[in-house]
Chains A and B, each alone.
Chain A
Amino acid sequence: MLKVGLVGAGGMGAVHAAALAGMRGAKLVGVVDAREEAARRLVEQAGVAHYTSLDELVSAENPNLIDICLPTDLHKEYAVRAAELGKHVFCEKPMARSSEEAQAMVEACRKAGVKLMIGHVLRFSPEYRTAKQMVEDGRLGRVGTVRMIREGAAPGWSAWFGDNKRSGGVLLDLAIHDMDWLRWTFGEAERVYAKLAGTEQGLPGEHAVVSIRMKSGVIAHITGSWAQPDGFRTFLELAGTGGVAKFDSADTYSIKTTLRGEERLTHQLESPLEPDGYFHELQHFIDCIASGTEPSVNGEDAAQSLELALAAIRSAETGQVVFLS
């Protein structure tokens, strides 16, 4: 049984703790969070202890791996420290805030001989896996164009998302999901051109459009938005010489509930998956550690997705096309 130490008990920390609760071969042993009440909520559910620092958690529980669910600008510091302490590292996406930080993480894990995996969850989400499989099976013929959308209201649960220095904004935080899936499915990108609007334009959050030309020739369009009035939607459309495939999260709600309330109706939309992508990605990493195999989305791989997102940001800032080396 592998012991997992969780750092960061916010939104994603809670998701990971829930996934770990049902996982074979692993168990949560301790939680670290700067906000005691956040950590307390999770440890009470899981029946484990909370700690005030990573070092303290490690010396008390001696976990096999550290799961990092901290704000993006803290990933590097904690990943490097976990590696130094000889722990395998699972870290939420985006890998880091800069290429240098990502390299430092890869380097530290390599030196310590521990595994590093980044939580690019789309690679483990059934809808995106199904779509990739269709491409691989040739059911679309040769894919010509790809259209991806990831849009919703600005993340309201934590202020750090709105601080570009910490989160990297919508391109680094949100659109990177789609960029990673593109790379995973079609190989590396050749060039990227992006436009960004945000609070300066009067929007509630950032809104980005990205044009990506893959080395394979695929033309991809990504919308990443934190400027929608509400909700959250993902969309994928692949057009090929042999067919068109589409997935729209807005069309896949398998349970639509409407309840009469005191003042107004409440609506609830659900598309449940048990287990979901978050479970699968963690299970994959646990299995990799147990069997000594390399995880899908290792540090080097995720660093390339980070490069693509950073290139898109550079393009949006400079107005120039950015060619990837």
Chain B
Amino acid sequence: MKIGMISFAHMHAYSYAHALKRNPDAELAGITDDDPERGRRMAEELGIPWFERTEELLAASDAVVICSENAKHAEYTIQAANAGKHILCEKPISTNVKDAEAMIEAAERNGVQLMIAFPCRFSTVAKRTKKLVESGKLGKLVAINGTNRGTMPGGWFIDRSMAGGGAVMDHTVHVMDLMRWYMPDAEVTEVYAEVDNRFHPDLDIDDSGLLTFTFDNGVIATLDPSWSRSKSFPVWGDVTLDILGTNGTSKVDLFKQNVLLHSDDTMKTTENFYGDDSDQGLIDHFIDCIMHNKPVSPNGVDGLRAMEVALAAYRSAELQQPVTLRK
């Protein structure tokens, strides 16, 4: 499988490229990037071809990985779909519902697969938790509290026209997707949110928030997506789920597996993750699905459903009222 990389605007592109290199069935076909300097540099570093134009890259690829700014996901995805190429697109799927629907439609029309990069689904810890939930040992799920805190990323992430939103856009979708994955028949019906920029008052974009929402199966949930980790914090952020069922609880921390380092060099304490690499699982799944014509998971609709919750959070914060998503 020849895989082309479209844009290295999102830093996850590095990790995906290396995961592709490690996959025996994948071959990196090359890179295109609307920042030619960045693209050339990456092509050189990875020792793969550089393509000036997206068409050229598409012609050389069976599938593409899109790590552009969020606002450009739709354009690249639709172009790749129309060229008959499968797509792995970085999260969030897009910045608005119209674009996301157009992406899903284009993939369907052209008979190609659209996968959204939610690596958390491939975390060994998250997968084990799914098994636990499915086993029924926790009983019926009643409540889930999630966190996906992080550090303010800067760059285009804080440019509304490119990112579509700040922390709430960036960090709602991962945990949202995990919750939906754990409850395959459930969808969010109502969202309430506080949204602000408490940590970077000079930013023109949100960096903090708190979502409270309800699923149609009755489960109540909250999620903190804030970029609230200070420079001194020992790790970039977290992904946690506190799951309450009628028969027990499970407190899940995807990055708990780490070695603590107190360093005189940096005068800082850091958590050094030793858990399994979920990006590899994500890439391997994508390659496996397109090679063997199996449906990808998470797909475009999963991406859309997760983003809808983030968009509803912004509406709710504006209205200072809960917002209904669907009956």
Contact = CB atoms under 8 A, between A and B. Distances in A.
B246 A209 contact: no
B51 to A, nearest CB: 43
Interface string A180-220: 00000000000101111100011100010101010001111
Interface string B230-259: 101100000000101010110000000000
B165 interface: no
A62 to B, nearest CB: 50
A272 interface: no
A227 B142 contact: yes
Chain B interface extent, by class? 35 or more
Contact of B208 (A145, A191, A201, A229): A145
Interface string A285-321: 0000000000000000000000000000000000111
B198 A219 contact: yes
Given A203-B142, A207-B244, A219-B198, A242 B208 contact: no
B142 A201 contact: yes
Contacts of B248: 229
A147 interface: yes
A131 to B, nearest CB: 15
Interface stretch (B14-22, B67-75, B170-178, B212-220): B212-220
A144 B198 contact: yes
B145 A218 contact: no
Interface in B267-315: none
B139 interface: yes
A229 B142 contact: no
B139 A202 contact: yes
Chain A interface extent, by class? 35 or more
A193 B143 contact: no
B260 to A, nearest CB: 13
B199 A191 contact: no
Nearest to A227: B244
Contacts of B214: 195
A101 to B, nearest CB: 29
Contacts of A64: none
Given A195-B214, A219-B208, A228-B249, A240 B142 contact: no
Contacts of B50: none
A321 B212 CA distance: 11
A244 B228 contact: yes
A22 to B, nearest CB: 37
A111 interface: no
A243 B129 CA distance: 31
B192 A239 contact: no
B224 interface: yes
A174 to B, nearest CB: 15
A91 B220 CA distance: 34
Given A144-B208, A239-B228, A218 B198 contact: yes
Given A203-B244, A243-B232, A244-B228, A197 B320 contact: no
B196 A219 contact: yes
A243 B140 contact: no
Nearest to A193: B192
B229 interface: yes
B194 interface: yes
Given A142-B198, A203-B246, A211 B210 contact: yes
A209 B230 contact: no
A296 to B, nearest CB: 27
A221 B228 contact: no
A195 B218 CA distance: 11
A168 B224 CA distance: 27
A285 to B, nearest CB: 35
Contacts of B140: 201-202
B119 to A, nearest CB: 24
A193 B220 contact: no
Interface string A155-195: 00000000000000000000000000000000000010111
A243 B268 CA distance: 13
B209 interface: yes
Contacts of B210: 145, 211, 219-221
B233 A244 contact: yes
Contacts of B149: 239
B143 to A, nearest CB: 6
B222 interface: yes
Contact of B222 (A197, A221, A319): A221
A321 B246 contact: no
A145 B208 CA distance: 7
B54 interface: no
Interface of B: 139-140, 142-143, 145, 147, 149, 190, 192, 194, 196, 198-201, 207-210, 212, 214, 218, 220-222, 224, 226, 228-230, 232-233, 242, 244, 246, 248-249, 320-322
22 contacts: A144-B196, A144-B199, A147-B147, A195-B220, A195-B222, A197-B220, A201-B246, A202-B246, A203-B246, A209-B212, A211-B222, A217-B198, A227-B142, A239-B149, A239-B199, A240-B199, A241-B230, A243-B230, A244-B229, A244-B230, A320-B322, A321-B322
Interface of A: 142-145, 147, 191, 193-197, 201-203, 207, 209, 211, 213, 217-221, 223, 225, 227-229, 239-244, 319-321
Given A195-B212, A220-B210, A239-B149, 10 more contacts: A142-B201, A144-B199, A144-B207, A197-B244, A201-B140, A202-B246, A219-B210, A221-B224, A241-B230, A321-B192
